[in-house]
Amino acid sequence: MALYILTPIFVSVRESIDNLIFTSYRGKPVISRKSTKKRQFNDAQRVSQGHFARAVALWKSLTKAEKLSWQDVALSRNIFAYNAFISINVRRANNGLPMIRDYSEANKPVKSKLDSQSLNNFISAISNIFDISQNESSRCFPGRYALCNSPL
């Protein structure tokens, strides 16, 4: 532990000098070093931060009536309408769902962007990858996750 003697110079120093921070704790002066470690974010955190920023921008663009639609859910959770809006929309965005402007849209089914043609292409591609023909599709494959067309 370092020992230092207070002189008039150090009694009047506040904030920081170079990498030293001068503060007081319970009336006594404290000198500490600045942290050299920067916080590292992973990709998922950066994506979530982007969703949060988009939700804030969307809140700012809402009309008064749209903001009032969030009041009921906010009161039931004992939070502000802004917090309810951000919470629900960031959660929806993290789950791959579109953000909503009005709370009444929260329970509506999400329209799929896939059409039947792209779904058929996907099924065809999977069949080609696993080399499944129509004759083999009736037989069951053993294992933990059995693949069958017929019920067990």
75 has a pLDDT exceeding 80: yes
pLDDT in tens, 11-64: 555 566 677 877 778 877 777 877 777 777 888 888 889 999 999 999 999 999
**CA distances to 27, 35, 117 from 18, in Å:** 23, 12, 64
Q: Which amino acid is at 124?
A: S
Predicted confidence at residue 90, as pLDDT, reads 92
pTM above 0.75, yes or no: no
Domain boundaries, the chain: 44-105, 112-152
- End-to-end alpha-carbon separation of the chain, Å? 72
Average pLDDT across the chain, whole number: 75
Q: How many residues does the chain have?
A: 152
| Interatomic CA distance for residues 8 and 47, integer angstroms | 50
Predicted confidence at residue 128, as pLDDT, reads 66
Its sign, for the CA torsion 111, 115, 119, 121, is negative
Could you tell me which residue, 49 or 10, shows the higher pLDDT? 49
